[in-house]
Structure 1
Amino acid sequence: MKTYKRVHFIGIGGIGMSAMAKLLKVCGTYVSGSDVQDSETIRELRHMSVQIGIGSKPELIGKDVELIVYSSAVPLDDEERIRGRHLDIPEITYNAFLGEVSQGSNLIAVTGTHGKSTTTAMLGHILTVAGLDPTVVVGSKVTSFPYGNLRVGMSDVFVAEACEHMAHMLHMDPQMIVLTNIEFDHPDFYGSVEDVRAAMKQFVEKLPQGGTLVWNADDAQSQLLIKEIALSRSDIQLIAYGQDAAAHAEVEREVGIQRVHLFKEDAEVFEADLRYPGDYNVHNAMMAALAASALHVRGDKIKQALESFPGLWRRFEHLGLWKGADVYSDYGHHPTAVASLLEGVKSFLPGKRIVLCFQPHQHARTRGLFNEFVQSMEEADVVVLQEIYDVAGRNEQDHATSSAELVEAIHESDTTRGVDRDVIYAQDAEAVKFQLEKIVRPGDVLLMVGAGDIDRLARTLIK
């Protein structure tokens, strides 16, 4: 990794940006930064003696700054970026910088529409338990990692979450790719699922001779990708996981436990008790296990790691009790993620009444996947929909779509299905809390779901 004496981060409070800032700080770089608002992440960085300003702080950028790293949400005319250009300081996006930092390592990149953070964290935890001492950069926080979204290791093994938005993953040069799935998302950048698949194909094509692709054989778009790749890249190792693949799982379910048996060529590799819900988490765990196995980690170490995996921030994260209900925060913001969460919780906690409070994320996504969102919430017993979260830096001009339209469409769908349940619109966090005060009762499971600021409300409920 190239060394720097001083680096400045614009948008340092972001989950990826803060991980890079922490990594440089641990490696001895003087780090400064700014963000639009204070947060727990900002406080963590300040505790590490990182100098941070709230709001635009061009005065923090002096001639001794060697590099400016900025979030892709920061516009060209940002005062700090202007200041940097005036001083002839090189600037780079977070994703390009992650690619630079990981150069020369044994990089395992985890990508896909769903499950990236969980699979990255699980793989990082497995490799840590197995003694491989990896560096791990994850788009969430892991209790077992000293810096939450970052683990700094001494080996050359580097595990990183590779974001597909705007094809950011193409900045990376991995030796192994774990591809969880391919689905249409980010309609502000991709026009179709075929566009997403084409970008993923570009990424897989970057694997070196002898590189490894761990892929989900139950995913239709991944199957199409493999057919294309197999014609041009016979020099890479393909490891498939799925019902009909050589590597597959059998699952036994009890309340609060999924007992998973992983088989390869009909021989059991290990059995592990997973304490998190849903088929999607079985997929995440098995993909991580197969990637670890490709790095020669033994089955008993994988079992030990999966059974001790502490879970993730905002991934079915249990926050506590409120009005006698169990409150969970989840980052799900795509229809498939919402539906999978609800189905998983139904089987994981049978008999519980599920109150779903969902905040859609980004107008373009809500509009582009409108019908899918309507169908995604069918398993909830009660639905409260907060207004759509405005995403900083996405320059959304069209705000015509509203959560109120989703409520109306869900009512129509429920009538057609013969279902009678409460589906309620709430303009903001205050209105959401007002509705929940009336709805929630002891024994409920309250799911606070979305990638926006709904998590903040969830945490205030249990204080």
Structure 2
Amino acid sequence: MNNWKYIYFVGIGGIGMSALARWFKANEFQVAGYDKTLTPLVENLITEGIPVTLEDEIESIPAAFLADPSETLIVYTPAVPVQHKQMNYFRQENFMILKRSQVLGLLTKNLKTVGVAGTHGKTTTSSLVAHILRYSDVNCTAFLGGITQNYGTNLLLNAPTENLNEVVCVVEADEFDRSFLTLFPEIAIVTSTDADHLDIYGKHENVLASFREFVGQIDEGGALFMREGLDLADSTKANVFTYSLDSGDYHAGNIRIENARFVFDIIYPEGMIKDIAMKIPGYHNIENSIAASAVALHLGVSGESIKGALESYKGVKRRFEYQVELPAKVYIDDYAHHPSEIEAFLSSVKALYPGRHITGIFQPHLFTRTRDFADGFSESLSLVDRLLLLDIYPARELPIEGVNSEMLLGKVEIEDKHLVSKKDVLDLLPKLNTDIVVTIGAGDIDTLVGPIKNILQNPFSNN
């Protein structure tokens, strides 16, 4: 890494990219980047002293980064379109260009790495692992796929040490574009291997093959903690342990809801951690906490410390994040963008607030994902009482004929459903009699969160 003085990120506003950018800046590299949208995360990077341009022009790149290609590393995300001007320039001028995942692989090479993989749950689970370790005074660093509420960042830096082998590095291992295959962890968690990213993989079997390859890269003598029922044990030389909500080597017991909070025990081969009352709700988050606790126990953390950490964990932004929590009005925002995630989220909302009316605002993410899982989306979205459906957020994709929100809306099996624009939502909400409101999606629906919160907190703007 010391070969480079300048690090330029194409797509710096991505959650994983921004964590890397912050790591390089903290380690005294010159950092700059491009992103197409001025999101709150991009604004934070600029405030922290990292120049970010929103223009895909060569002239908008700081001159020092272009002076000598041998001194500048270009880091990019596969979400960047192929016709990107800056990327084409870097290729033509023979800059060193690496994917984010490749750079992450290089950084974690000399650290005791915990890789958290899975088509759902990896952001919460990896941040739970990192929080338990930090709470328990284990020297760790973490590259996370979300902004943790406890620390206000997606990057945790380890304390300085002369022996890097003592540092535990927690990494969210992303299956998109097979990025996690740059990692060779000592310990891994796999939360799920459902079909997703079929624009990359083509079919579910290829997704499974990629996960099998990932677990095959765990250090021999290392440990794999996988959700019970996944077919991965034969693909690794690591020691395999299973977990789930109600069975496996690590599982929960005595689950109940007290004061709108989930309370449960964690049962593991050597004992039990009793009466854990977590701030973050959801059956899926109990399962995520079991996986994280299993890793912590494996690393020698005490049950008492794990209990304290879980009870002080505040969650990740946009993962079951309460925006308004009043007796007569609740607003929760969630990043869910796959049918299984939406079902888990809405089922937990219904369990916490039985019999109450739910207004769901959903923005589909990607044309291919909407096409491939239209039936699953329609089934999971039918759990709400009222649906306000936004247009598809395209991200890196071009439109696909016949694939649109109108098609998806027709499949949803509730009567109170509406196709709306983002402006429509803000105009419509004050006129509706709302009880529980949820926003769901991974695109730019987050730009609505603040305005919706203001509407729902203002008693004069809502019936």
Same fold (TM over 0.5): yes
Query: 1:42-441, aligned counterparts within 5 Å?
Result: 42-59=42-59, 60=61, 61-64=65-68, 65-145=71-151, 148-154=153-159, 156-217=167-228, 220=229, 222=230, 224-226=231-233, 228-229=234-235, 233=236, 235-242=237-244, 243-250=246-253, 251-265=255-269, 267-320=271-324, 325-391=329-395, 393=396, 395-410=397-412, 413-414=413-414, 421-426=415-420, 428-441=421-434
Match of 1:461 in 2: 452
Whole-angstrom CA distance in 2 between matches of 1:173 and 1:299: 28
Whole-angstrom CA distance in 2 between matches of 1:163 and 1:440: 40
Are 1:7 and 1:66, in contact at CA under 8 Å, matched by a contact in 2? yes
Which consecutive unaligned segments of at least 5 residues does structure 2 have? 160-165, 455-463
Shift of 1:241: 0.8
Shift of 1:244: 3.0
Are 2:359 and 2:436, in contact at CA under 8 Å, matched by a contact in 1? yes
Tell me: CA distance 1:399–1:288, structure 2 relative to 1, closer, same or farther (3 Å).
farther
Whole-angstrom CA distance in 2 between matches of 1:20 and 1:373: 33
Are 1:32 and 1:52, in contact at CA under 8 Å, matched by a contact in 2? yes
Shift of 1:322: 10
Are 1:352 and 1:445, in contact at CA under 8 Å, matched by a contact in 2? yes
SS of the residue 1:189 aligns to: helix
- Deviation sequence 1:119-178 (CA, Å, 0-9, x none): 0111100000011121111111012225x1111113521101111112111111111111
Whole-angstrom CA distance in 2 between matches of 1:144 and 1:92: 31
Whole-angstrom CA distance in 2 between matches of 1:440 and 1:57: 47
Are 1:270 and 1:299, in contact at CA under 8 Å, matched by a contact in 2? no
Shift of 1:370: 1.0
Whole-angstrom CA distance in 1 between matches of 2:223 and 2:284: 22
Amino acid of the structure 1 residue aligned with 2:312: S
Q: After alignment, is 274-283 or 429-438 more displaced?
A: 429-438
Whole-angstrom CA distance in 2 between matches of 1:335 and 1:167: 21
Whole-angstrom CA distance in 2 between matches of 1:213 and 1:247: 13
Shift of 1:316: 1.2
Tell me: CA distance 1:57–1:301, structure 2 relative to 1, closer, same or farther (3 Å).
farther
Are 1:177 and 1:212, in contact at CA under 8 Å, matched by a contact in 2? yes
Shift of 1:266: 7.3
Q: What value does the CA root-mean-square deviation take over the aligned residues? A: 2.0
Shift of 1:37: 2.2
Match of 1:418 in 2: none
Give the TM-score normalised by the residue count of structure 2.
0.90
Give the total of aligned pairs.
440
Amino acid of the structure 2 residue aligned with 1:114: H
Shift of 1:397: 4.2
Are 2:279 and 2:314, in contact at CA under 8 Å, matched by a contact in 1? no
Query: How many percent of aligned residue pairs carry the same amino acid?
Result: 29
